[in-house]
Amino acid sequence: MGFLDKAKEFAGKNPDKVDTFTEKAGDAFDSRTGDKYAQHTDTAQQKAGEYLKGGQGQAPQGGQPGEGQPPAGEQPPA
């Protein structure tokens, strides 16, 4: 059983704690980044909550952060 499976199982048993956890995690991230990415953080919080509660959210895909995107200033391969 993977990490996401365990998280979904916990969320299924404790749906009230999902919103609290995602809100606190997002607030901590916003605090450390000076709210620079607040809009993206809000979206991530919403999607994480939906996924953990069994909603329509999609599971994150594997790989490294930013994988599939070219480095800044480079064009994607044709």
Tokens for 73, please give them: 């200033």
Tokens for 61, please give them: 């895909």
Mean pLDDT of 20-24: 89
Q: What is the pLDDT of residue 70?
A: 55
Residue from 42, 13, 11 nearest 25 by CA: 42
- Look at the pTM and tell me if it is higher than 0.85: no
* Residue pLDDT, tens place only, 23-75: 999 999 999 999 999 999 999 999 988 887 776 555 555 544 455 555 556 66
